[in-house]
Amino acid sequence: MRLFSKPKPLADPTKNAQCTAFEVDNWILSEFTLRQLVPVVGIHPFPLNELMLMSGAVCRFKPAFIFEWGTHRGKSARVFRETIKAFSIPCAIHSIDLPDDVPHGEHPKDTRGELVHGMEEVTLHQGDGITVALELCARLAANAPVLFYVDGDHSHASVTRELTAILDARPDAIVLLHDTFYQSSESGYNIGPFEAINEVLAKRGQGYARISTNTGLPGMTLLHPATHA
């Protein structure tokens, strides 16, 4: 039994791009994920449904720039890089992690960005993610479609600060956020990112559509302007 169709150039999985609703071809994205993503990034920390939401968002919205943090070893940056290569999307990826001398429990030290070293589509930076991203965005991408990927410090305060700053600066931005699964607070799981998204969006009315992989940990959320076509 053949698991996949014969290897061939992958078609654009975007469906109904003229509509505001998000729709992608899940079979094309499944083939891409299993053939090209899982062999290089595995399924940790991003399970299959999250890999498909990340790659699907890039295919659907075709950002010219992706600003993401934290880099860590470079898995998320590599997911975005493999996606733009496979689907011929012209895009520059800028990935930011904290400087080496800033103490943080998850700082990758010598392994920072090792999965994207030498790849021309990805530029690595060090600094505070949102600060560096917005500087780069203003300088490089003033009139270009942009996607922000938020995966730094997952505290309620950090995600609130970062998402607010993104939507203030670029209300047209596509935003992906990680670790957004909602469990009842009795479980003790960090629901800070989930609550931060709720609160930031509540202040802005109904302007954004929200799609989440909310079947289990760690959880990924996509926000896009509800009027995006």
Among the listed residues 106, 114, 168, 172, the single contact to ligand SAM using CB under 6 A: 106
CB of 45 to ligand SAM, least distance (A): 5
Does 108 interact with ligand SAM (rule: CB under 6 A)?
Answer: yes
Question: 3-state SS of 33-71?
Answer: HHHHHHHHHCCCCCCHHHHHHHHHHHHHHCCCEEEEECC
Q: Which is nearer to ligand SAM, 89 or 150 (CB)?
A: 150
Binding mask 134-163 for ligand SAM (x = CB under 6 A): -----------------xxx----------
- Beta-bridged to residue 225, according to DSSP, are 208
Scanning residues 120 to 139, which ones bind ligand SAM (CB under 6 A)?
A: 128-129
Residue nearest to ligand SAM (CB): 70
What does each C-alpha distance from 143 to 59, 166, 170, 173 come to in angstroms? 19, 15, 10, 11
Please name the residue that has the structure tokens 């950002």: 63
Q: Which is nearer to ligand SAM, 28 or 71 (CB)?
A: 71
Lookup: tokens for 53: 């939401």
Q: Which is nearer to ligand SAM, 72 or 224 (CB)?
A: 72
Among the listed residues 19, 42, 100, 104, the single contact to ligand SAM using CB under 6 A: 104
Cβ-Cβ contacts under 8 Å for 10 (sequence gap 6 or more): 28, 31, 32, 86, 87
Question: By rule CB under 6 A, what count of residues binds ligand SAM?
Answer: 19
Rounded to whole angstroms, the Cα distance separating 41 from 53 reads: 15
Q: Which is nearer to ligand SAM, 76 or 221 (CB)?
A: 76
Scanning residues 41 to 100, which ones bind ligand SAM (CB under 6 A)?
A: 45, 69-70, 72-73, 75-76, 96-98
94-82-13 Cα angle (round to 5): 110
Report the candidate in 216, 121, 133 with the shortest Cα–Cα distance to residue 175. 133
Does 218 interact with ligand SAM (rule: CB under 6 A)?
Answer: no
- Beta-bridged to residue 123, according to DSSP, are 94
CB of 72 to ligand SAM, least distance (A): 4
Interface positions with ligand SAM (CB under 6 A): 45, 69-70, 72-73, 75-76, 96-98, 104, 106-108, 128-129, 151-153
